[in-house]
Structure 1
Amino acid sequence: MFDLGLAKLALIGVVALIVLGPQRLPRVARTVGTLLGRAQRYMSDVKAEVSRELEVEELRKMHADLAHSVHQEEQAIYDAVTSSPAQNPIEENISPSTSSWRPATSPKRSNWRIKQAVLPVWYKRAARKRAHLQSAAARMVRYKPKNLSRSF
């Protein structure tokens, strides 16, 4: 930018001392330093903003390229699947009644007890859920009507 050496800075200092005087020179020097600091911060902010914009533009271009390649791959897979049913071994094993990807039967609740045990006891009390599980035999003994009990 400017080529200021030690000799030039000394000449500028002597001229400023003669023109401004010894009383106003420190105040003017502080003001000039503050203004130069602001200018440097402004220039660094502008440089950072420009570099961010360049990076964003680069990312947008990469995103567009990636989206285009993904679309091409999806189209190629779709064309391969729908090209002909005789060439596709996956579709030969599927009957027309099971064309959906969902299973025909409902999923089992084998992990229901595990999910119930994960809940804390205070939540079960607040939500009025059973805190203790009983086996079927214990439930039958507890709730068995009196007229069905046999005496031996």
Structure 2
Amino acid sequence: MRRAGLVGCVVGVAALLGGCSGAGGGRDIRDAPSWEEGATVESVAQTLRVHVPPTATDARAAHQKGFQDDGLILAFVVPAGEVDGFLGQLRPERPLRLREQPWAAEGKPATPFARLGLPEPESLANVREGQVCAPCGDELEWLKVAVAPVDDRSSRVYLRGAD
């Protein structure tokens, strides 16, 4: 009797462990976040519901397929005089705040601008930044913007969102 109880216990534990091992639908390595090849400035801008100004230069974008949400990053340079007009079309929830000093390195963002060969806006000084929307409606979960001066005549706009 005691042996039958022990066998039953071992079978039960094995069944539980088998159910947790992923054999029946757990995550696969193919589900890991990955960068989508072929993402374009136009496709990312469309997903973020943003109109890139025709005067924008050095536009770069990337789309990361995630476990639940996709990460989207978009950056471009515009003449300094056009920044406020661009920000006006975004209609941020609150006025952007000016951060005069870089943030101390606290961690690595899930969708780093380093993917585009750019510094993180958090590592720069004199950056205007803020939340555009969260939630944004439709498929877009949230959108953030940061604007950093490149020189006296131009600024780089950084957009990061999730859908």
Q: TM bucket by the smaller chain?
A: under 0.3
What's the TM-score once normalised by structure 2's chain length? 0.26
Larger strand proportion of the pair: 2
Higher relative contact order (CA 8 A, sep 6+): 2
Bigger Rg, which one: 1
